[in-house]
Chain A
Amino acid sequence: MPLFNDDPGSSFYDLLLSRRPDFSGVLPQGPPPAHAPGMPTASGLPSVSHGTTVLAIRFQDGVLMAGDRQATEGFQVSGRRIEKVFKADAHSTIAIAGAAGPALELARLFQIELEHYEKLEGDILSCEGKANKLAQMVRGNLPMAFQGLVVIPIFAGYDLKRREGRIFKYDVTGGRYEETDYHATGSGGKDARDTMKQMYQRGLSEAKTLRIALEALYNAAEEDVGTGGPDLIRGIYPTVMVMTEQGVRDLETSQIAEACTALIETRRERA
Chain B
Amino acid sequence: MALPYYVSPEQMMADKAEYAKKGIAKGRSIIAMECAVGVLLVADNPSASLHKISEMYDRIAFSGAGKYNEFEMLRKAGIRHADLKGYTYSREDVTAKSLANAYSQSIGTIFSTDPKPLEVEILVVEVGEGDKPNEIYRISFDGSIIDERGVAAIGGKVETLMTFLKSRWTTPAITLREALRLGIDALDTVTNQKLGPEGLEVAVLERTRVGRAFRRIGPSAMKALLGSP
What is A's interface to B at a CB cutoff of 8 Å?
A: 1-4, 7-8, 12, 15-16, 19, 108-109, 112, 115-116, 119-120, 122
Beyond known contacts A1-B102, A15-B84: 17 more, CB 8 A cutoff: A1-B103, A1-B106, A2-B77, A2-B81, A4-B76, A7-B76, A12-B83, A16-B87, A112-B83, A115-B83, A116-B80, A119-B55, A119-B79, A119-B83, A120-B76, A120-B79, A122-B49
Q: Name A's interface SS.
A: helix
Contact code string B114-134 (vs A, CB < 8 Å = 1, else 0): 000000000000000000000
Residues on the B chain within 8 Å of A19, using CB: 84
Task: Please give, as numbers and ranges, the residues of chain B lying within 8 Å of A8 by CB-CB distance.
Answer: 80
Task: Enumerate the 9 nearest inter-chain pairs by beta-carbon distance, A residue then B residue, closest first.
Answer: A1-B102, A1-B106, A3-B77, A1-B81, A116-B83, A119-B79, A119-B55, A1-B77, A112-B87
* Interface flag for B97 (CB, 8 Å): no
24 A-B pairs, CB-CB below 8 angstroms? A1-B78, A1-B81, A1-B103, A3-B73, A3-B106, A4-B77, A4-B80, A7-B76, A15-B80, A15-B84, A16-B84, A16-B87, A19-B84, A115-B83, A115-B212, A116-B79, A116-B83, A119-B54, A119-B55, A119-B56, A119-B83, A120-B79, A122-B51, A122-B54
How far apart sit A108 and B83, CA to CA, in the bound complex (Å)? 12
Instruction: Report if B105 contacts A (CB, 8 A).
Output: yes
Q: How many residues of B contact A (CB 8 A)?
A: 22
CB-based nearest A residue for B104: A1
- The answer for the CA separation of A16 and B88 in the assembled complex, in Å, is 10
Q: Which residues of B contact A (CB under 8 A)?
A: 49, 51, 54-56, 73-74, 76-81, 83-84, 86-87, 102-103, 105-106, 212
Residues of B within 8 A of A119 (CB): 54-56, 79, 83
Taken together as a complex, chains A and B put the C-alpha atoms of A7 and B51 apart, in Å, by 19
CB within 8 Å: A-B pair count: 48
Contacts of B73 in A (CB 8 A): 3-4
CA of A193 to CA of B42 in the docked complex: distance in angstroms? Answer: 52
Q: Which residues of A are found within 8 Å of B77, using beta-carbon distances?
A: 1-4
- Within 8 Å CB of A108, what residues of B? 87
- Residues from chain B with a CB closer than 8 A to the CB of A122 are 49, 51, 54
Residue among B49, B54, B79, B86 with the highest chain A CB neighbour number at 10 A: B79
Find the B residue at minimum CB distance from A111. B87
Chain B residues whose CB sits within 8 angstroms of the CB of A1 once the complex forms: 77-78, 81, 102-103, 105-106
CA A15 to CA B86, docked complex, whole Å: 14
Q: Tell me, rounded to whole Å, the shortest Cβ–Cβ distance linking B164 to chain A.
A: 30
Q: How far is the CA of A80 from the CA of B77 in the complex (A)?
A: 41
**Chain A residues whose CB sits within 8 angstroms of the CB of B79 once the complex forms:** 116, 119-120
CA–CA, A2 and B85, complex, Å: 13
Least CB distance, B209 to chain A, in whole angstroms: 13
Q: How far is the CA of A15 from the CA of B87 in the complex (A)?
A: 12
Which of B51, B54, B83 is most buried by chain A, counting CB atoms within 10 A of its CB? B83
Q: Write out the residue numbers on chain A whose beta carbons fall within 8 Å of the beta carbon of B51.
A: 122
B50's nearest neighbour on chain A, judged by CB, is A122
With both beta carbons as reference points, the residue of chain A lying nearest to B55 in the complex is identified as A119
